[in-house]
Amino acid sequence: MAANNTPEPYYSQGLRARFQVDGVRAEQAAASAGEAYADISYEIDEEKYLARAAARVKAGNLPTEVPAGWPKELTGPLVWDSSSFPDESEYVYTLSAADKAELLSALAVFKTHNLDGSKVTKATFPLPGLGKHLDAMCADVYNGRGFGIVRGLDPDDYALEDLTTVYLGISSYIAQVRGKQDQRGSMLIHVLKRGADDDEDDAYGADKPFHTDCVTDTLALFTQSLAPSGGESLLASAWTVYNHLAATRPDLLHTLAAPDWPFDTYGRDPAFYKRALMYLTSEGKLITSFSRRLLVGHDPFQPRSLNIPGLTEAQAEALDAVHFAAKQVEIKTRMVRGDLRFINNMALLHRREAFQNVPGEDAARGRHLVRIWLHNDEGMCWKLPGPLRLAWARVFEDDGEERGEHWDFAPVRNLQGKLTSVGGSCD
């Protein structure tokens, strides 16, 4: 918040002019004060979900077909479930000794350019052998199953800055454009247990609901370190979830596709914006994009802003329905220290299970992932609908005049001793 109490702009002046977004203010002003909204929170309440679903079905008058022009069933490699990958070797590429030697050679080449570590690209980090495997993984991420894991990096083999250069170098073969993940302009987000450095008894992280990150076409996660127990990554295909809802509750697809979901900007201007959670592209591809936190808040860390719209009963049911449908088909991908995982954030949902850090241990020494938002502008990213083009532009095309870039190779603390560049699902 600025010193004169004027809210920070959510969109840069350039984006406001380019996408003509100032009309959002009129929509914000029209929000109905005191309107009753659904009782829903960040944490999943199955009993409340089942009661809401039963009440809405009993009331009747729900659409019985999918939205006009949408398919009754999606097909292709992105339609998979928990039985589809009996062997993790289908999606894990394990680095060979030759690959590791090539990474050291690429690191040496990069250093000859005397560039900042954030400037690593395929051209400055050449991987003639490994790069072919990474190109195949890129194809799988964008046009295949939607995810892949590179395994075999040992964080102890590198100085921290070199390690960051290496995993940025590998990720550049999936997508070369990296995005700003918060209002500060953080390019690397350190995903740590919130509060673990402040409260020795707060060693457990609860199960998280399914969501996507907002916004990126590929989500990259480097596993810096793991908790002693729990914290595994779970994935589900949003395309499979779509097929389940199309067959059982097509009315919920209408709700998910409606452009009236209120996203909280947390004190910025505009205070909220509205768009859909599901889109069908002109190429017939389904894109799912939402953060539960931005829709309902995340108490006590980030409560929903006051005086902005909440969710309707239909929206609350649809949001929970996506979670429970995803749980029916989820897969648990084993996590190993040093893993670098790439997830198609347009087509897959993800969550993590509960975990336990060592009580009293610094948060950065427990479960610690480094998150990167990637955009492939070389023809791999799907054709985005208008509202998502604006969202992508804010992350990947920011001109830097209003938000700088911050590359925190390690978590940093502010003057109050709190960890910064520690992220939730998205900003």
Parent domain of 74: 13-33+41-412
Residue 426 is assigned to a structural domain of this protein: no
Average pLDDT over residues 356-382: 82
Contact between 197 and 419 (Cβ < 8 Å): yes
**Which residues lie closer than 8 Å to 136 by C-beta, 6 or more apart?**
none
What is the CATH classification number for the domain harbouring 215? Answer: 3.60.130.10
* pLDDT tens per residue, range 182-204: 988 999 999 887 554 443 334 44
Per-residue pLDDT at 85 exceeds 50: yes
Residue 356 is assigned to a structural domain of this protein: yes
Residue 60 is assigned to a structural domain of this protein: yes
Per-residue pLDDT at 30 exceeds 60: no
**Bridge partners (DSSP) listed for residue 412:** 420
Per-residue pLDDT at 304 exceeds 90: yes
DSSP state of 60: -
Per-residue pLDDT at 343 exceeds 90: yes
CA distance 321 to 234: 17
Per-residue pLDDT at 27 exceeds 70: no
Confidence of residue 403 (pLDDT cuts 50, 70, 90): confident
Residue 418 is assigned to a structural domain of this protein: no
Average pLDDT over residues 385-400: 91
Residue 4 is assigned to a structural domain of this protein: no
Task: Please report the pLDDT score of residue 25 as a whole number.
Answer: 53
Q: Lowest mean pLDDT of 23-27, 128-132, 248-252, name the range.
A: 23-27
Task: Please report the pLDDT score of residue 411 as a whole number.
Answer: 87
Per-residue pLDDT at 75 exceeds 90: yes
Average pLDDT over residues 43-61: 97
Contact between 393 and 19 (Cβ < 8 Å): yes
* Residue-averaged pLDDT of the chain: 89
Average pLDDT over residues 13-34: 67
Average pLDDT over residues 10-39: 73
Confidence of residue 361 (pLDDT cuts 50, 70, 90): low
Task: Please report the pLDDT score of residue 197 as a whole number.
Answer: 43
Task: Please report the pLDDT score of residue 398 as a whole number.
Answer: 81
Residue 59 is assigned to a structural domain of this protein: yes
Contact between 221 and 340 (Cβ < 8 Å): yes
Task: Please report the pLDDT score of residue 144 as a whole number.
Answer: 98
Place of tokens 């060693």: 203
Per-residue pLDDT at 127 exceeds 60: yes
Task: Please report the pLDDT score of residue 235 as a whole number.
Answer: 98
Average pLDDT over residues 334-348: 97
Per-residue pLDDT at 416 exceeds 50: no
Share of the chain above pLDDT 90, in %: 74
Cα 167-173-175 angle, rounded to 5 deg: 95
Average pLDDT over residues 239-251: 98
Note the Cα 54 to chain centre separation in Å: 31
Per-residue pLDDT at 334 exceeds 90: yes
Task: Please report the pLDDT score of residue 204 as a whole number.
Answer: 46
- HSE-CB for 45 with a 13 A CA cutoff: 13
Task: Please report the pLDDT score of residue 203 as a whole number.
Answer: 40
Average pLDDT over residues 316-345: 97
Residue 417 is assigned to a structural domain of this protein: no
State the total domains in the chain. Answer: 1
CA distance 5 to 8: 9
Residue 83 is assigned to a structural domain of this protein: yes
Q: Lowest mean pLDDT of 80-84, 172-176, 179-183, 396-400, name the range.
A: 396-400
**Which residues lie closer than 8 Å to 420 by C-beta, 6 or more apart?**
184, 408, 411, 412, 413, 414
Confidence of residue 5 (pLDDT cuts 50, 70, 90): confident
Task: Please report the pLDDT score of residue 314 as a whole number.
Answer: 98
Share of the chain above pLDDT 70, in %: 87
